[in-house]
Amino acid sequence: MGIIIYCLLALTGLAVLSVLLPVKIYLKSAGGTDSGFEVTGRVMIYSGLVGGGMYYFEKAYRANIFLHTWKIVDADITSIVSYFRSKSKKRAIEIPEKIKIEKEEEKKPLFERMKSGYSKIETYRGYFEEGYRDFCEIVRFDYFNADITMGLGNPAITGITSGIIFALNGVLPKSCEIIHSFDFTRRVIQGDVSIKLTFISLKFWKNVLRHLPDIIRKYVIHK
């Protein structure tokens, strides 16, 4: 009986640590529209000690389990994914479209519409700024590297996109880099992208507790 209690306490401790310690997230994509996309993802708990991942290439899926950097399980799960996909398609129910009858409203003057839109932006700007600060506390970009060739099929749109990426490179931190080239003759996306994120669990739970009274007041008390 004592051994069972000790095992339960140990499992409880491990579960608590998995919630409190940082989570490492790795994403990598290679290839493109010409050769096909090769995507690898990995989520590591206990600050990167153990975790699992998935690999995809040419409609083939593989599941992995990692111990630090060692891959200890590598299984082909393509048939399992295909099975669940076929089941979900069979169970899909077509919902008839509802005809919506909207009342015609007189258009307000342009100045009033602009004033109303600006007031809405001002109302939600505080929520956005607070949410952005919370996100930056909780999620840390350890690195983001992209070496891509991009073409959007339209020279004008491709040119605008190139200008945006040039501007982004000027404001991104040193841990983030986009090496780019553009193809103005065709629609193509080709290259390598690597991302590493750290999800800081303690700060996530701190923000949840901070916002909990507001959530209770809004969704429980006023319900």
Mean pLDDT of 197-204: 89
Place of tokens 């880099």: 177
- Sign, CA dihedral 121-169-165-179, equals negative
DSSP type of residue 33: T
Tell me the whole-structure pTM to 2 decimals. 0.70
Distance CA 52, CA 20 (A): 18
Dihedral angle, C-alpha 104, 106, 109, 112, nearest 10 °? -70
Place of tokens 């109302």: 123
Q: Does residue 51 carry a pLDDT above 50?
A: yes
For position 109, what pLDDT does the model report?
66
For position 106, what pLDDT does the model report?
53
Distance CA 119, CA 125 (A): 10
**Range with lowest mean pLDDT among 122-126, 158-162, 211-215:** 122-126
For position 170, what pLDDT does the model report?
80
Collect all residues with Cβ–Cβ distance below 8 Å to 161 and sequence separation of at least 6. 150, 152, 182
Joined tokens for residue 141: 């970009």
Q: Does residue 103 carry a pLDDT above 50?
A: no
For position 36, what pLDDT does the model report?
79
For position 63, what pLDDT does the model report?
94
**Range with lowest mean pLDDT among 89-98, 142-151, 195-204:** 89-98
Q: How many residues does the chain have?
A: 223
Mean pLDDT of 95-109: 50
Q: Locate the DSSP E strands across 46-202.
A: 50-57, 60-67, 70-76, 139-152, 176-182, 187-199
Nearest to 177 by CA among 157, 151, 148, 197: 148
What is the rounded average pLDDT for all residues in the chain? 80
For position 107, what pLDDT does the model report?
59
Distance CA 113, CA 120 (A): 11
**Which SS3 state, helix, strand or coil, does residue 191 take?**
strand
Mean pLDDT of 204-209: 85
The residue ranking higher by pLDDT, 138 or 33, is 138
The amino acid present at 43, given as its one-letter code, is V
For position 76, what pLDDT does the model report?
92
**Which SS3 state, helix, strand or coil, does residue 185 take?**
coil
Dump pLDDT digits (tens) for 109-146.
656 666 676 676 766 777 777 778 888 888 888 888 88
- State the pLDDT confidence band at 215, using cuts at 50, 70 and 90: confident
